[in-house]
Structure formats: C-alpha cells, structure tokens
C-alpha cells in the first residue's frame, strides 16, 4: 500500500475518532441524521472514494476503500452505510455504464461532495426475490414515466440522486430479471416523494425510507446503460456492496472488541480485573481471532476484484462471515460487560443492535449461502 493510500486510511481513522465516536450514542438515541458530519466527509472527498480521477474522485483501489469503510464503521456504522451505499452502488454503476454526459453531470459533483446518492431496488414484496419488483417504467414519446413504490432506501430523504430499478417489460410479457432497467432520478423531480424515516432496531442515525414514484417523467438521459439490463448491472454492483457491508461489519466488531478489552481491564470482581480471569481472556481471544479472519477474507476478495477476477461467490463468503462475526463478537462484548452491557449507557448495546442488520441487507445470510452453494456446483 502506498503512502497516499495509508494517509487516506489514517484520515478516516482520525475523523472517526474525533467526529463520530463522541456523538454516535447521541445520534443513535435521537435518530439524528448527522448532516454536518456528512457535509464534512463530502468536503474531504469521501463521497468520491471510488469515483475515477478524471471526474475528481480519489479512485481508491478496492482494498484501501474497504479499509476506509472499516475505520468509519468503527466510529459510527450509520455513517459508514451511507458512504458505502453511495460509493459501492450508484458510483459503481455510473462509472461502468453511464454515458459521458451522465458521468459529467453526476460523478463530478459526487466526488466533490455536492451530491449524495441512493440505490433503490427492493420493494415491500420484493426483497430477496428482487427480480419480482413491480415499479414500472413506460415509454411516452421521448420520455420515460416511472410509477411504483420502493422500500428500505438508505439515504432515502437526504439523497440528491436515486438510482432506481424499474420494469421496462410489459405486464403481458414479464421477463423477470431481464425486464428491469436502471434509471437516474434526481431528487426533487415531480412525483418523487420519500416516505418517513423508518424506526429501526439499529443504525438509527442513518436515513432509511420508502420512495414513492408517481408519474415521474425522465428524459432519455434518465436511462442508465441499456434497456432491460439494469438488474444485471445491479447484481454486478452488489459484489462491491456486499464487500462494503463486510467491511462495515468488521468495523462494528472491532469497536466492540476494543470496548470489551478496555472494560475487562477496568472492571474488578473478587479484587481483580475481570480480564485476568481465563474465561474472559478466552472470550477476548476468540473475538480477536474471528475479527482478524473476517478482515483478511474481506481484503483478499477486494484484491481479487481489483485484479479483475469474478468474485460473486467470494464476496458472498466475505459478507456472510464478516456479518455473522459482527453479530457473534458484539454478543460476546455484551457478555463481557455483564449487566452493564445490557444498558444503553454503555456502547456495546448499540453495537449489538447495529450488527444485526449486516446479516440482512445487501442479501440475507441465507441468500449468501445460496450464492456460495451455487458457485460450488458451477466449479
């Protein structure tokens, strides 16, 4: 890793410790979206982590990018998922499939921190089976007209741009995943209405909403890539998205371990720090080992992706292992804290709640196992 790359990771670590850690509990308790902190991250270039240099981005390699996300997640997982969704999905799809005009319009302001993007695939009845989505895009002369309702949109009411997946086949000729296209929908377009923020178990400082589309009219420039290939683009981008969630999970787990180690050195029972008892030492050792394994798997897959290897199965492995590691490690951290770990006054309770969703979004653990098993049969 070069010196500039190390400097970006170091900047992320310093920012997380100074700007996120002191406020994360307050944001969580009040369900406060940290708009000012996001503005600062945008000014520092963190909205352009994966944007190509020719559009003013940092163009980080996959490994460095995930290391940055881990640092941000260790400070506040809510902020990390906002950055991850923006960089891993809309940026990836635009850079790969956008026209020169679309890239100029959107990637440059993204990199400069002026545009935060959201990705809108899921619907209330189309989660794991995302290809069954119902939002419809219909041609009307030189325009596209979008109608439908999307669900669980991260950055839903704060985004400046939505990458929306909608059907471009017809009700009479449904083609499943081959009848879905990707659209660039600017916030504020007539007919685009974000719903109220969801009241979530964890990641309470991130914005998650529904998105209503009522006769939303877009010009030809609204179509991203080729018609009917949007779902394929989305699945390709989800490799990056799943690695982003894996890095987020590692960051959550690392923060929980750091709190547990510190607490074990301070908390005394039987006139000794509990960290001197072998039972606690073994818990901490297992936590550290699993985190190290999750991190190395995630970064190895990132290096493979950087080489151009196909990593769909491996990205699912990383996402599965890292998210289940985060859930296991945060559970152990609560146990180390004992009764205090169950109290909202202590940070591991929040980390425990934040960890759970990493086993659900960007594909559930069950969906990851299906992808992994399918890959075994195709080898």
Spatial neighbors of 292 by CB under 8 A, at least 6 apart, are none
Q: Which of 63, 11, 4 is nearest to 41 (CA)?
A: 11
**Longest alpha-carbon distance in the chain:** 79
Spatial neighbors of 224 by CB under 8 A, at least 6 apart, are 93, 94, 97, 98, 102, 163, 181, 182, 183, 184, 230, 233
Whole-number Å distance between alpha carbons of 320 and 245: 10
How many Cβ atoms from other residues are within 10 Å of residue 328's Cβ? 18
Report whether 202 contacts 357 (CB < 8 A).
yes
Report whether 159 contacts 187 (CB < 8 A).
yes
Whole-number Å distance between alpha carbons of 61 and 36: 27
Active site residues: 362
The radius of gyration of the chain's CA atoms, rounded to the nearest angstrom, is: 21
Q: Which of 278, 308, 250 is nearest to 84 (CA)?
A: 250
Q: Which of 180, 133, 184 is nearest to 163 (CA)?
A: 184
**Strand pairing of 180-186 and 161-167?**
antiparallel
Strand stretches in the chain, DSSP E: 117-120, 136-140, 143-154, 161-167, 180-186, 192-194, 208-218, 223-224, 268-269, 272-273
The residue whose two tokens read 């050195």 is 265
């Amino acid at each position: 890793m070069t010196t500039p790359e190390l400097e970006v990771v170091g900047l992320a670590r310093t920012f997380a410790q100074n700007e996120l850690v002191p406020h994360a509990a307050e944001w969580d308790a009040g369900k406060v979206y940290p708009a000012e902190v996001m503005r600062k991250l945008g000014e520092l270039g963190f909205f352009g982590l994966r944007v190509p240099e020719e559009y003013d981005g940092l163009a980080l390699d996959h490994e460095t990018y995930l290391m940055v996300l881990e640092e941000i997640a260790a400070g506040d997982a809510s902020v990390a998922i906002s950055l991850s969704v923006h960089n891993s999905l809309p940026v990836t799809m635009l850079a790969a499939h956008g026209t020169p005009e679309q890239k100029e319009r959107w990637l440059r302001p993204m990199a400069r921190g002026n545009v935060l993007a959201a990705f809108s695939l899921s619907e209330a009845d189309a989660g794991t089976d995302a290809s069954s989505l119902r939002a419809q895009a219909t041609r009307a002369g030189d325009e596209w007209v979008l109608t439908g309702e999307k669900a669980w949109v991260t950055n839903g009411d704060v985004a400046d741009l939505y990458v929306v997946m909608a059907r471009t086949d017809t009700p009479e000729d449904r083609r499943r995943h081959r009848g879905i296209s990707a659209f660039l929908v600017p916030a504020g377009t007539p007919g685009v209405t974000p719903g109220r923020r969801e009241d979530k178990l964890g990641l309470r400082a991130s914005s998650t909403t529904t998105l209503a589309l009522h006769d939303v009219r877009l010009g030809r420039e609204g179509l991203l890539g080729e018609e009917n290939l949007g779902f394929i683009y989305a699945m390709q981008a989800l490799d990056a998205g799943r690695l982003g969630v894996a890095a987020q999970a590692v960051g959550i787990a690392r923060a929980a371990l750091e709190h547990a180690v510190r607490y074990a050195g301070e908390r005394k029972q039987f006139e000794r720090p509990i960290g001197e008892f072998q039972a606690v030492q073994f818990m901490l050792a297992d936590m550290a080992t699993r985190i190290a394994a999750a991190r190395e798997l995630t970064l190895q897959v990132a290096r493979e992706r950087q080489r151009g290897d196909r990593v769909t199965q491996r990205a699912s492995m990383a996402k599965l292992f890292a998210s289940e590691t985060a859930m296991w490690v945060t559970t152990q951290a609560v146990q180390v804290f004992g009764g205090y770990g169950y109290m909202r006054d202590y940070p591991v309770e929040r980390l425990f709640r934040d960890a759970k969703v990493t086993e659900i979004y960007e594909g559930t653990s069950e969906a990851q196992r299906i992808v992994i098993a399918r890959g075994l049969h195709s080898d």
